[in-house]
A and B are shown apart, each in its own frame.
Chain A
Amino acid sequence: MVLTVNGKTTTLEDVEPVPIPALLERLNVADPLYVTVELNGEFVDRNAHEITSVADGDTVEFLYFMGGGER
């Protein structure tokens, strides 16, 4: 399948839809537990990553949570 990932065309060998955790693994994303995902312009709640899959033609954005604190 062919995806657009963070603005770049990305080809996966998969034909069937791929769940988000597996997609992040295929993309060799470090620290996937700290990643937040948008699929086709819609924010994907973290609790829904396991049950949400990407398919051919989808547009995926992912980024790391940005947080911290003085204590």
Chain B
Amino acid sequence: MLQIPRPIYEQMVTHAREGLPLEICGILGGKGEAVVEIRKMTNTDSSSQHFMMEPREQFAVVKDFRSRGLEILAVYHSHPATPARPSEEDIRLARTPNISYVIISLADSLLPDVRSFKIADGRVSPEELKIFV
């Protein structure tokens, strides 16, 4: 299970909406299952169908988190026009072990669909996502 405080959840959805028509991406940091921090990242692809995080930003986040006893708990990205399920590309590039992959679908612009998955060795497992106050 991945637990996200509502303010961070809303920042994530707002990030996705503001990024339209492009895909956006970011990192959720925390401890255990509980997210405590969101980092919006640069999508170097600047695409409506793909994302690739800027690696220098990734290194900076990893080192900052480590220095404060936090870990990367999840990577999030948006699907501007398709459902919140991992694409073949998402699965192929999901190489970081033991993290969650959160997808924000804006296919229904009025009702964003946010789902979390574990992806390992090409296998996708839906994961419970708890939004708490």
Partner of B87, one of A36, A43, A70: A70
Q: Say whether, besides A31-B95, A34-B93, A66 and B75 are in contact (CB < 8 Å).
A: yes
8 Å CB contacts to A: which residues of B39-66? 41, 45, 47, 49-53, 55-56, 58-59, 62-63, 66
Query: B80-94: which residues lie under 8 A (CB-CB) from chain A?
Result: 80-82, 86-87, 89-90, 92-94
Is B25 in the interface zone, CB < 8 Å from A?
yes
Please tell me which stretch of A11-19, A20-28, A47-55, A57-65 contacts chain B, meaning at least 4 of its Cβ atoms lie within 8 angstroms of it: A57-65
The one of A43, A64, A68 in contact with B50, judged by C-beta atoms closer than 8 angstroms, is A68
* CB-based contact A70/B81 at 8 Å: yes
Q: With a CB–CB cut-off of 8 A, which chain A residues contact B58?
A: 36, 63, 66
Interface residue total, chain A, C-beta cutoff 8 A: 18
A64→B96 contact, CB < 8 A: yes
Q: Are A67 and B52 in contact (CB under 8 A)?
A: yes
Q: How far, in whole Å, are A61 and B49 apart by their CA atoms in the complex?
A: 29
Which residues of chain A come closer than 8 Å to B96, judged between CB atoms? Answer: 63-64, 66
- Other A-B pairs, 19, CB within 8 Å; known A43-B59, A69-B49: A31-B95, A34-B93, A63-B58, A63-B59, A63-B62, A65-B53, A65-B55, A65-B95, A66-B52, A67-B51, A67-B53, A68-B50, A68-B89, A69-B47, A69-B90, A70-B23, A70-B79, A70-B81, A71-B87
